[in-house]
A and B are shown apart, each in its own frame.
Chain A
Amino acid sequence: MLSTIQEFFSHPVLVKELRSRMRGGRAFGLLFFYLGILILFLLGLYGSSGFRGFFDYSAHGKGSFIGAAIIGQITFRTLASIEFLMVIIISPAITAGSITLEKEQRTLDLLTMTPLKKSSLIAGKMATALAFTLLLILTTIPLCSICFLFGGVSPGSIFQTCLTLFSASVFMASLGIYWSSCCKTTVSAVMFSYSSLFVPYFLTMILGYMGLLSFQYHNPIILITSPVSDILTGLTSSSTLFGLSLWKGVGGSSLCLLSGILLCAAAGAQLESFPKRQGFALRILSLVLYMYLSLLFCSTWYTSLLSHGSILTAISPPAALLCLFIFMQCILTLFYTAGTLSAWECSNLLQRLRWGFSKAGFKSNCTASALPFVLLLCVGQCVMYPLYFYLIGMKQFITLIGLPPHLLSANSITTGLAPAWLHDPHLNGLGAPAILGMMLAVTFGIAMCSMFYGSIFNSRLLSGFVPVMLILVGWIFLLVHSAPPILKSILSAFNPLLPFLQLSPTASLLQSHAGSTSGMLAGSVAAIWFITGCIHLLGLMLYGRRFRSSAVRSLEEEMQEVQRA
């Protein structure tokens, strides 16, 4: 045990990074700046008249303990939220340059030549970045202690906040390191990591528009962007996770940590010079994350059902869960299939696709054999889905997630949820076969699209861009009222969430689809994505024919290398 710890602290990357990070005035300058801003906010808050007035003339009487406690809590929450904001800005900034700088200084090749593993390199870089953010978080504890003057805040809650902040910084830092390993320059890595921070916010906006976020403080998507929201609102913060009583905000923190590990693994796989060997661990990890997310969703849904069940009637909860699955499915499909297919892969595409179903193909990381994996995810999720609800329907599970059973026995939604999956009046004809078929078709279409454009344009970015644009076209045509009805009904089917819109309060958008049930809409979505997928598959095969005669075995896209050589 002791030797493992010693080994970790003599990790070459960790030692070198810590040496160069803390050398000179930069690190201390940043620390000074960070604490300075926090102190300014604290002083401003303390000096503001409204704040003092709250203390003096609160309803509880002048100088009451409750008034003081409220002040203490407000101070603490303000500090925590500013701290959170700074941490999410600083942590990707530290890691976004960590790998790209190695690329820019051309030291990455030298590191590749050493027996140091890429995963070890990522771990070392992450450990240094996290050590620094931990320093930032810990240095604010003395500032937080001013709340003890007023009361209302326990040392335990400060510790819990630190834990949540730290797990948020793990997610942000790993986002930075992932982009750092993908991009060639630091500037683009920084740009991508900050802009991808906004994607979850953007997603929550769409979901909110659909009325899917009525229990937003427990929505996993929100939890991952802001696990602190749990603490800040103080309304719904739950310290239980699957029946275990842990710290407040445990759901968001665990999600952040898990996605952080996944992103780091992805970064490691990205850096491997012979990439075909790293796929297995990455796929297993994303499978775990996927399953965990849905379990968390179920668990948190029931937890908030307990606190205010009436809000949930806005939309049938299974439909909300399905929306989340489809989102996840689209993102994971893009993640695995975006990228350039080599000419060799194009020339025997069908063989490659078939190979993906075998054991070796599942373990490999080549783009073409990833399609069977994402389809498998799809089927797995559709099978797991009724299972969750079956579990939830069982009394043992209810006690496991820590809910008093008598509360749920009265709730009509839970009874018979598993059979409802096959024939659900809530879902308006959207049964299991329809959803499974639609998810498979959408996955197939997105995968083929991204493979095709990736190969034709030889760019990973463009390959992911086109399917996303198609989905956006689906949304736009749904919202544009003046569009011709036929065009509108065809193009809006690119939106995979279309069938669920009918179940939501925004069903009025679907005037052009009047008279069709959700099941029919799912059918049209499946059809259009299947056709799109087939067209692109055909195109890809035609494109691959050109390479069939050449003796090329496998190709890497290293244009820079050619230009430099």
Chain B
Amino acid sequence: MAMVELNNLCKVYKTGSDTLTALDNLNLQLEKGDIFGFIGPNGAGKTTTIKIIATLLLPSAGTVRVNGVDALKEPGRARGFIGYMPDFFGVYDDIKVWEYLDFFAAAYKIPKDRRPGIISDVLELTDLSVKKDAYVESLSRGMKQRLCLAKTLVHDPPVMLLDEPASGLDPRARIEIRELLKELQAMGKTILISSHILPEMEEFCNKIGIIERGKMIVEGDVKTLAQNVRGYQSITLTVKANAEQALHMLQQMPELVQTPSICAENHKIAEGSLQMPRGCTLQFQYIGPPEEEYAVLQALVQAGIQVRSFFTPETDLEDLFMRVTKGQVA
């Protein structure tokens, strides 16, 4: 059963005499454990979609099901399955961190004797235990963001809707949030996360959807998407020697490989890992049938070329994003 299911979702705003279509027949299906990255330019309809799933807005047409519950007919039941974190996190004045969490725990009707345990658990998870007795307004922005995440975890929801959790945070706070999300992923939660900071998304999302002017332009697995959109998959190959021979071999396979070349500079495979010496790294674009790129490797190895590594670098989401969107805002 899908945890989140949107069918033909439409949202039309009336501004005086003219109408504005914020969402246009949006469809989406998320299974348990999915981490869905919701990407789009500002004003594309990300927040509107999240608010509709969170039962805070009524759609003009379409249906929303959360964990099998019709969110439009039974908003009260659907809300129980959802943890919602808005893009702008507000604080109450004159209230301490634990009191803030206690307030929401009480609002979620968690019995009084269970609350202290839950509060210390979520504070532990969000790394805020030391700030338990601090006033909320004294926290830094990143801490507030984490506190808000802690608040959404108080009732242990299976579905989490996070609207731009990393916006306005410094790099360190952003990495902390990312680590936190990875932990949530390990807990088996279905997470829908919207952002426009793309490199973060590709690291932990298993699905992405790009939305523009209320329409879902592309949706699916990050890597397949990239290949579908670009029509190729870029592969980096490192050999011990004989780079020219390898290049020659690649050039012999035009049905599978296109634009092979030897990298001119030292190639860095991944952050902090070893650097490949100059002249031993090749790059090419694989255009054959998807998930059969091993055929190229097989051919190279059979020809006696000593292959040290053969891998697909992280998909460049920003490139993908720029390709599918046109910079139009609804």
Q: State the A residues within 8 Å of B (CB).
A: 10-13, 15-16, 19-20, 23-24, 104-107, 109-116, 273-274, 342-343, 458, 550-559, 561-562, 564-565
B92 touches A12 (CB 8 A): no
**Cβ distance A23 to chain B, nearest Cβ, rounded Å:** 5
Assuming the contacts A114-B108, A273-B55, A554-B58, asked whether A105 and B91 have C-beta atoms less than 8 A apart, the reply is yes
A115 touches B76 (CB 8 A): yes
Say which one of B44-52, B243-251, B289-297, B318-326 lies at the interface with A: B44-52
Chain A residues with Cβ below 8 Å from B86 are: 106, 109-110
Chain B residues 6 to 50 lying within 8 A of chain A, measured CB to CB, are: 10, 12-16, 19-20, 22, 43, 45-48
- Alpha-carbon distance A10/B151, docked complex (angstroms): 19
B13 touches A551 (CB 8 A): no
Q: A20-B95, A274-B75, A561-B13 are in contact. List 7 more A-B contacts (CB 8 A).
A: A106-B86, A342-B14, A551-B61, A557-B14, A558-B57, A562-B48, A565-B47
B14 touches A458 (CB 8 A): yes
A553 touches B93 (CB 8 A): no
B89 at the interface (CB under 8 A from A): yes
B80 at the interface (CB under 8 A from A): yes
B104 at the interface (CB under 8 A from A): yes
Assuming the contacts A106-B86, A106-B90, asked whether A115 and B106 have C-beta atoms less than 8 A apart, the reply is no
- Alpha-carbon distance A114/B75, docked complex (angstroms): 11
Nearest A residue to B59 via CB reads A553
- Alpha-carbon distance A550/B20, docked complex (angstroms): 12
B56 at the interface (CB under 8 A from A): yes
Assuming the contacts A20-B95, A110-B84, A555-B60, asked whether A12 and B48 have C-beta atoms less than 8 A apart, the reply is no
A555 touches B107 (CB 8 A): no
Q: State the B residues within 8 Å of A (CB).
A: 10, 12-16, 19-20, 22, 43, 45-48, 51, 54-58, 60-61, 75-76, 79-80, 82, 84, 86, 88-95, 99, 103-104, 106-109, 112, 151
Chain A residues with Cβ below 8 Å from B60 are: 552-555
- Alpha-carbon distance A13/B92, docked complex (angstroms): 12
- Alpha-carbon distance A217/B179, docked complex (angstroms): 70
B95 touches A109 (CB 8 A): no
A114 touches B19 (CB 8 A): no
**Cβ distance A148 to chain B, nearest Cβ, rounded Å:** 39
A20 touches B92 (CB 8 A): yes
B55 touches A115 (CB 8 A): no
Nearest A residue to B43 via CB reads A565
B16 touches A458 (CB 8 A): yes
B107 touches A115 (CB 8 A): yes
- What 5 A-B pairs come out closest when comparing CB atoms? A105-B90, A12-B106, A114-B107, A20-B94, A106-B90
Nearest B residue to A106 via CB reads B90
The 8 Å CB contact of A114, one of B16, B89, B91, B104, is: B104
B108 touches A115 (CB 8 A): yes
Interface of A is mostly: loop
Chain B residues with Cβ below 8 Å from A111 are: 107
- Alpha-carbon distance A11/B103, docked complex (angstroms): 9
**Cβ distance B20 to chain A, nearest Cβ, rounded Å:** 6
- Alpha-carbon distance A10/B58, docked complex (angstroms): 32
Interface of B is mostly: mixed
Chain B residues with Cβ below 8 Å from A23 are: 94
The 8 Å CB contact of A19, one of B82, B95, B108, is: B95
**Cβ distance B58 to chain A, nearest Cβ, rounded Å:** 6
Nearest A residue to B91 via CB reads A105
A113 touches B84 (CB 8 A): yes
Chain A residues with Cβ below 8 Å from B104 are: 12, 110, 114
Nearest B residue to A457 via CB reads B16
A555 touches B14 (CB 8 A): yes
Assuming the contacts A20-B94, A114-B79, A115-B76, asked whether A553 and B103 have C-beta atoms less than 8 A apart, the reply is no
Assuming the contacts A115-B79, A343-B14, asked whether A274 and B103 have C-beta atoms less than 8 A apart, the reply is no
- Alpha-carbon distance A116/B93, docked complex (angstroms): 21
Nearest A residue to B76 via CB reads A115
Assuming the contacts A10-B112, A343-B14, A458-B16, asked whether A565 and B93 have C-beta atoms less than 8 A apart, the reply is no
- Alpha-carbon distance A273/B89, docked complex (angstroms): 20
Chain B residues with Cβ below 8 Å from A13 are: 103, 107
**Cβ distance A550 to chain B, nearest Cβ, rounded Å:** 7
Chain B residues with Cβ below 8 Å from A553 are: 60-61
The 8 Å CB contact of B103, one of A15, A112, A551, A562, is: A15
The 8 Å CB contact of B89, one of A106, A458, A550, is: A106
A115 touches B109 (CB 8 A): yes
- Alpha-carbon distance A13/B47, docked complex (angstroms): 27
B58 touches A556 (CB 8 A): yes
Chain B residues with Cβ below 8 Å from A554 are: 58, 60
Q: Which of B12, B43, B76, B91 has the most CB of A within 10 A?
A: B12
**Cβ distance B18 to chain A, nearest Cβ, rounded Å:** 11
Q: Which of A342, A561, A565 has the most CB of B within 10 A?
A: A565
- Alpha-carbon distance A342/B93, docked complex (angstroms): 37
Chain A residues with Cβ below 8 Å from B43 are: 565
**Cβ distance B267 to chain A, nearest Cβ, rounded Å:** 42
Nearest A residue to B93 via CB reads A20
- Alpha-carbon distance A565/B106, docked complex (angstroms): 30
Chain A residues with Cβ below 8 Å from B13 are: 555, 557-559, 561-562
**Cβ distance A115 to chain B, nearest Cβ, rounded Å:** 6
Q: What are 6 A-B residue pairs whose CB atoms fall within 8 Å in the complex? A: A19-B94, A20-B92, A273-B57, A552-B12, A557-B13, A565-B22
Nearest B residue to A340 via CB reads B14
- Alpha-carbon distance A274/B43, docked complex (angstroms): 24
The 8 Å CB contact of B95, one of A16, A552, A557, is: A16
Nearest A residue to B161 via CB reads A113
Chain B residues with Cβ below 8 Å from A107 are: 90-92
- Alpha-carbon distance A20/B102, docked complex (angstroms): 14
**Cβ distance A458 to chain B, nearest Cβ, rounded Å:** 6
Nearest A residue to B13 via CB reads A562
**Cβ distance B265 to chain A, nearest Cβ, rounded Å:** 43
Chain A residues with Cβ below 8 Å from B10 are: 551
- Alpha-carbon distance A106/B106, docked complex (angstroms): 19
B47 touches A16 (CB 8 A): no
B108 touches A273 (CB 8 A): no
- Alpha-carbon distance A110/B91, docked complex (angstroms): 11
The 8 Å CB contact of B19, one of A20, A116, A550, A564, is: A550
B79 touches A565 (CB 8 A): no
A16 touches B79 (CB 8 A): no
**Cβ distance A463 to chain B, nearest Cβ, rounded Å:** 14
- Alpha-carbon distance A109/B43, docked complex (angstroms): 20
Chain A residues with Cβ below 8 Å from B46 are: 565
**Cβ distance A29 to chain B, nearest Cβ, rounded Å:** 14
Assuming the contacts A113-B54, A562-B20, asked whether A10 and B106 have C-beta atoms less than 8 A apart, the reply is yes
**Cβ distance B324 to chain A, nearest Cβ, rounded Å:** 20
Assuming the contacts A110-B86, A458-B14, asked whether A561 and B48 have C-beta atoms less than 8 A apart, the reply is yes
A274 touches B92 (CB 8 A): no
The 8 Å CB contact of B107, one of A12, A109, A552, is: A12
Nearest B residue to A559 via CB reads B15
Chain B residues with Cβ below 8 Å from A562 are: 13, 15, 20, 22, 48
- Alpha-carbon distance A77/B138, docked complex (angstroms): 47
- Alpha-carbon distance A283/B103, docked complex (angstroms): 32
- Alpha-carbon distance A564/B46, docked complex (angstroms): 11
Nearest B residue to A343 via CB reads B14
- Alpha-carbon distance A115/B91, docked complex (angstroms): 20
Nearest A residue to B90 via CB reads A105
- Alpha-carbon distance A274/B79, docked complex (angstroms): 13
Assuming the contacts A273-B55, A559-B15, asked whether A113 and B79 have C-beta atoms less than 8 A apart, the reply is yes
Assuming the contacts A561-B48, A565-B47, asked whether A106 and B88 have C-beta atoms less than 8 A apart, the reply is yes
Nearest B residue to A557 via CB reads B14
A561 touches B51 (CB 8 A): yes
**Cβ distance A522 to chain B, nearest Cβ, rounded Å:** 39
Q: Which of A16, A111, A550, A559 has the most CB of B within 10 A?
A: A16
A564 touches B47 (CB 8 A): yes
